[in-house]
Amino acid sequence: MIASAGCTQFPGIYSPGDDLLYAEGHSKTDNHHVYINYVDFDYMKMMGFRMISGHAFSSNFPRDSVDGIILNETSVRELGYDPATCVGKKAYSALPFSSGVPVRIVGVMKDFHFEDLHNPITGIGLEIFSDPKYTYITAQIDKNRIRPTIAAIQQVWQQIFPDTPFDYTFLDERFQKNYQADQRMADLVAWATGIAIFVSCLGLFGLAAFSAEQRTKEIGIRKVLGASEGSIVALLSRDFLRLVALAVLIGSPAGWYVMQKWLQSFAYRTGIGWTVFALTAGTALVIAVITISSQAIRAALANPVKSLRTE
């Protein structure tokens, strides 16, 4: 194990601990919500949080456990302070059960995502637990020794807490759980799209076969008069490709609207460029050409004598 630390919350899960802080010279009504995570002196170093100003928690600064707090950039700006010059400033709690004793800003850490990307970065503060009763133990371990390290931790855990089950999770897995609903939706859409394409191809194939059968004598006459196979394939395919192009023109705005509504659920999202719809239109036309061409080529290569024999 490389490092370990205690905390009441860790990134990727909902944090129920919070406070309402307001800056010096402001009233209680001018408060801002800040998620509070109680940690030990080793937590920040282990997590690799980047400091903008001030210092991280360390046993070299024992007074921090009394009234020190480290805030992220967002919370400092919401309080009305400058992240570069706010070290030493005080913040007060507006909670009704607050003791009234202010906290002292000892450092400002760079903003990071401690919730999933559906939510914007909000205020978060770290404090040292004066009475260390942590909810979680976080650990950084060597990726090449994951199994033996977990087994060693479990052995120590069972010695100390024999009646408490040993349970653990990986940080990346906990973050990924926040997107399970989105992943299920993506899988559902993928399956529905595949089925829709398959059914559409069956329909196109049937219509192409029916059209070729209905126009057998027309094709025979055209070939007798010198029409090439390529022109006949183009003749049979043209009407279907126009319908596919019309479907793309109608479906693209609807698809753009639905995707825009879905992306609105994310605080951080990408845009939908025209290249996405161009690629979609090209793919639809290619699938349509492949589906139709088998019947069109078969009709174009047919012997015109057989089709005109009854005339």
Q: Is the model more confident about 294 or about 104?
A: 104
In this structure, which amino acid lies at residue 60?
A: N
pLDDT above 90 for 221:
no
Per-residue pLDDT tens over the stretch 63-75: 888 889 999 999 9
Average pLDDT over residues 27-40: 90
Dihedral angle, C-alpha 42, 44, 47, 53, nearest 10 °: -150
**Domain assignments of the chain as residue spans, ordered by start:** 3-176, 180-308
Per-residue H/E/C for the chain? CCEEEEECCCCCCCCCCEEEEEECCCCCCCCEEEEEEEECCCHHHHHCCCEEEECCCCCCCCCHHHHEEEEEHHHHHHHCCCCCCCCCCEEEECCCCCCCCCEEEEEEECCCCCCCCCCCCCCEEEEECCCCCCCEEEEECCHHHHHHHHHHHHHHHHHHCCCCCCCCCCHHHHHHHCCHHHHHHHHHHHHHHHHHHHHHHHHHHHHHHHHHHHCHHHHHHHHHCCCCHHHHHHHHHHHHHHHHHHHHHHHHHHHHHHHHHHHCCCCCCCCCCHHHHHHHHHHHHHHHHHHHHHHHHHHHHCCHHHHHCCC
Give the per-residue pLDDT at 86.
93
Per-residue pLDDT tens over the stretch 189-212: 889 888 988 888 888 788 777 776
Q: Is the model more confident about 300 or about 179?
A: 179
Average pLDDT over residues 112-119: 81
Average pLDDT over residues 56-60: 88
Say what percent of the chain tops pLDDT 70: 84
Give the per-residue pLDDT at 114.
83
Q: Is the model more confident about 44 or about 224?
A: 44
Beta bridge partners of 32: 21
